[in-house]
Amino acid sequence: MMRDLPFDLDDTRLQAELERKVAAAAELLSDIARRFEPAALASSLGAEDMVLTDLIAKHAPAIEVLTLDTGRLHAETYRLLQQITDHYALRIRVVYPSGEAVERCVAEHGINGFVNSVASRKACCEARKVEPLRRALAGKRAWITGLRRAQAATRVGLPLQEYDAANGLEKFSPLANWRVQEIWAYLHLFGVPYNALHDRGFPSIGCEPCTRAVMPGEDIRAGRWWWEEPGSKECGLHPAKRRQAAG
């Protein structure tokens, strides 16, 4: 069942703006599929990535959709993963961390050591997210993310396209200029499945121990690593420093 929205889906200005942005994102994805094969969407299974998954299924099915199973996800996220598999003809590739790397990290920092320091948290993110993503992207020419500028202080200057030096390939954020209302309008209008946690106050969903619900009016990233300063709240998948601003 779809959630009640705090805005009017029939608003003609919203619909016109959404139509324009959907057309631009669909064109960009088709272009990426043509010019940067092989390319992949690295999906966190959040609302933005569900918009992209739907757009890829409709306009650019050659783009691979992959997601990282860190081993610490919410039960609701695993349910959504199965729902996507049932809903779309496309298959999501599920990428796992190296068992040895996780064992080493747990031996050094503890099973929940990520709350003790930013360094311990980054070591866990490195073992469970960053290295598996690097491995999944090896051999790709481009990757796609659902990042938006309005999501965080660290994402204000987010371009549509940039060179990701860490992974050695182009990185695209087709929803960089989308507003949160447009994300939810899209999911509703096209009946796209989404994580049930979004209806329980989770605007941003990651690993279970590192994600909590936020209060109305709180920053949308306040529920991620809430014990850290805002400036350190990236897991290493999306470093804040960028070489090129193209959008």
Name the minimum Å distance from CB 138 to ligand SF4: 20
Residue nearest to ligand SF4 (CB): 207
Q: Which is nearer to ligand SF4, 24 or 115 (CB)?
A: 115
- How far apart CA 194 and CA 204 sit, in angstroms, is 12
- How far apart CA 200 and CA 111 sit, in angstroms, is 27
CB-neighbour burial class of residue 16 (10 A; exposed 0-12, middle 13-18, buried 19+): exposed
Residues 11-50 that bind ligand SF4 (CB under 6 A): none
Contact flag: residue 235 with ligand SF4 (CB under 6 A): yes
Name the minimum Å distance from CB 125 to ligand SF4: 4
- How far apart CA 221 and CA 233 sit, in angstroms, is 8
**Active-site annotation holds for 125:** no
Residues 58-77 that bind ligand SF4 (CB under 6 A): 70, 72
Name the minimum Å distance from CB 197 to ligand SF4: 15
Q: Which is nearer to ligand SF4, 47 or 187 (CB)?
A: 47
- How far apart CA 226 and CA 218 sit, in angstroms, is 12
Q: Tokens at residue 247, please?
A: 């959008």
Question: Among candidates 169, 173, 170, which has minimal Cα distance to 159?
Answer: 173
CA distances, 82 to each of 60, 218, 239 (Å): 21, 31, 30
Q: Which is nearer to ligand SF4, 114 or 178 (CB)?
A: 114
H/E run at residue 74: none
Q: Which is nearer to ligand SF4, 69 or 219 (CB)?
A: 69
- Provide the mask over 195-224, with x wherever binding to ligand SF4 is found by CB under 6 A and - wherever it is not: -----------xx-xx--------------
146, 49 Cβ separation under 8 angstroms: yes
Residues that bind ligand SF4 (CB under 6 A): 70, 72, 114, 121, 124-125, 128-129, 206-207, 209-210, 235
